[in-house]
Structure 1
Amino acid sequence: MESWNERVAAVWDDDAVSDAERIDRIDALARERADGDARALFERAGARDSAGVEVEAEALYRRALDAGLDDEHRPQAVIQLASTLRNLGKVDESLELLRAERERGGPLADAASAFYALTLVTLGKSREAAAIALEALAPHLPRYTRSVTAYARELVDPPR
């Protein structure tokens, strides 16, 4: 028998389901868990976020974070909530959540940087956004890491 996590993953992997079907299937799986279960709330939020139902997603992400997500899903929830907030026009809160997640580090720090850069673009700060994106990319380059990092810094702090 498949575990709950495997069944959730199968719903996300099924490209044939509509947004509404995905929400229904995730909600059904969430009902198998205790009321207020952080992971179930997170999956419900993600299904709505993916379907463009951001207002409902925001509330569910906040509940999931308040309920105490594990170290794997907490950063995902923060990034996804911040992206949802940006889409809802709550750009300052989005930026603050992403800044803190970037500073926290961890395996999703570069993902947080990507969404941080998108949020900066929303604020009309394209140079700063490019600098953040390049700084996140630089360590992954096979060459030119030092040069790209330096150029990224120059975008926001030009030499005098």
Structure 2
Amino acid sequence: MTDTAWHQAVDRYYEQDFDDDDPQGSIARMRDLLSARPEGDPEALFELAGVHDALGLEDEAIPLYRRAISGGLEGTSGLRASIQLASSLRNLGDSAEAVSILESMPDAGIDEGARQAFLALALHDEGRHGDALRTALLALIPTLDGYRRSLTGYAADLPGSVTTT
């Protein structure tokens, strides 16, 4: 199966086969799909982690995300794996590691807004409320037609560290 065909099959899985009311069945159906990939394939590990994550099984998703990333997952999937790992860590109470991961990431391209949103949540959980609000505002400002200058100034005046993401 080509990479394109495999990714299309994954898309079909989420459209037709994923069922959060049947966690074990959903995982089994994804494992069947992943059998077309080589053992330890980072893309396959990322997809399996995502299924666990979507089912609320973050504790099982985290090691899979870590294996996918350490296995060399690249591109959009690599960036998304880092964002999703950080989100799962935050959900399980490790917001400090989530902040560390999200702050150390490069610009996430089409997912940059998501990276900043999850970073704002993790900063908030860490008690860094000014930094959290600044991060959220700076993510929002480019989408506005007006008020950019004033909101950028207000964001800069918020308490907390002065670094931006």
**Which of residues 135, 139, 157 is equivalent to 1:136?**
139
**Which of residues 15, 37, 52 is equivalent to 1:13?**
15
Contact 1:12 1:22 in 2 (8 A): no
- Cα distance change on mapping 1:148 and 1:74 into 2, 3 Å: same
Identity of aligned residues (%): 41
- Does 2:88 correspond to 1:84? yes
Give 1:55 deviation, angstroms.
1.3
**Structure 1 unaligned regions, length at least 5:** none
Paired positions, count: 155
Structure 2: distance between partners of 1:87 and 1:25? 25
Contact 1:54 1:88 in 2 (8 A): yes
Give 1:127 deviation, angstroms.
2.3
Segments of 4+ moved more than 4 angstroms: none
Give 1:16 deviation, angstroms.
6.7
Which residue is 2:50 aligned to? 46
Structure 1: distance between partners of 2:19 and 2:95? 31
- Cα distance change on mapping 1:29 and 1:52 into 2, 3 Å: same
Which residue is 1:95 aligned to? 99
Contact 2:41 2:68 in 1 (8 A): yes
- Does 2:33 correspond to 1:29? yes
- Does 2:69 correspond to 1:65? yes
Contact 2:141 2:152 in 1 (8 A): yes
SS of the residue 2:154 aligns to = helix
- Of the structure 1 ranges 142-151 and 78-87, higher mean CA displacement relative to structure 2 is found in 142-151
Structure 2: distance between partners of 1:24 and 1:142? 47
**Structure 2 unaligned regions, length at least 5:** 161-165
SS of the residue 1:156 aligns to = coil
Structure 1: distance between partners of 2:112 and 2:159? 20
- Of the structure 1 ranges 60-69 and 123-132, higher mean CA displacement relative to structure 2 is found in 123-132
Contact 1:11 1:22 in 2 (8 A): no
Give 1:156 deviation, angstroms.
2.5
TM-score (norm 2): 0.86
RMSD: 1.9
Which residue is 1:146 aligned to? 149
Structure 2: distance between partners of 1:156 and 1:10? 46
- Does 2:107 correspond to 1:105? yes
Structure 1: distance between partners of 2:112 and 2:55? 25
TM-score (norm 1): 0.89
Structure 2: distance between partners of 1:116 and 1:16? 28
Structure 1: distance between partners of 2:122 and 2:57? 19
